[in-house]
Amino acid sequence: MIILYAIGERLERSVGAIRMFVVYMVSLLGGSLCSYEMMLLTGDYAVSAGASGAVYGIIGGFLWLLLLHRGHLEGISARRLVFSILLMVYFGFSSSGIDNWAHIGGLVSGFLMTAILYHRKCQKY
């Protein structure tokens, strides 16, 4: 929830409340579908609940903004965010009972949805 607040607030300021909501919901759906697909492929059926895939989607969306803004935005660098993402994914895979595919699906969905919805205004010099 701290990550949702910290990164989500920055994403909302950049893209607006409605686009932020769309990114969140698409990431929630993308994470759930990725998790479901992996359950079908592996045969490892488990109950999965929560909004962590959507939170990863918010992180993925902010990563898109960082890349679009040459690696720095609102005091956060792309290098730091990528390092944090790698740590979160590593700890997810090294722990039991974590729906890693929901996290990865949410991250990718949020990244792609933000890429579709957000276009930086061109500056004329």
pLDDT per residue rounded down to tens, the chain (125 residues)? 888 998 999 999 989 999 999 999 999 999 999 999 988 988 887 777 788 999 999 999 999 999 988 888 878 888 999 999 999 999 999 988 888 999 999 999 999 999 999 876 544 54
77 DSSP β-pair partners: 72
Residues 61 and 111 sit within 8 Å (Cβ to Cβ): yes
**Residues labelled as active-site residues:** 52, 103
pLDDT at 121: 58
pLDDT at 48: 76
Q: What angle do CA 52, 94, 62 make, to 5 degrees?
A: 35
Report d(CA 68, CA 7) in Å as an integer: 16
pLDDT at 76: 85
Report d(CA 87, CA 50) in Å as an integer: 20
pLDDT at 45: 76
Number of Cβ within 10 Å of residue 80's Cβ equals 13
- 3-state SS of the chain is CHHHHHHHHHHHHHHCHHHHHHHHHHHHHHHHHHHHHHHHHHCCCCCCCCCHHHHHHHHHHHHHHHHHCCCEECCEEHHHHHHHHHHHHHHHHHCCCCCHHHHHHHHHHHHHHHHHHCCCCCCCC
Report d(CA 93, CA 101) in Å as an integer: 10
pLDDT at 97: 83
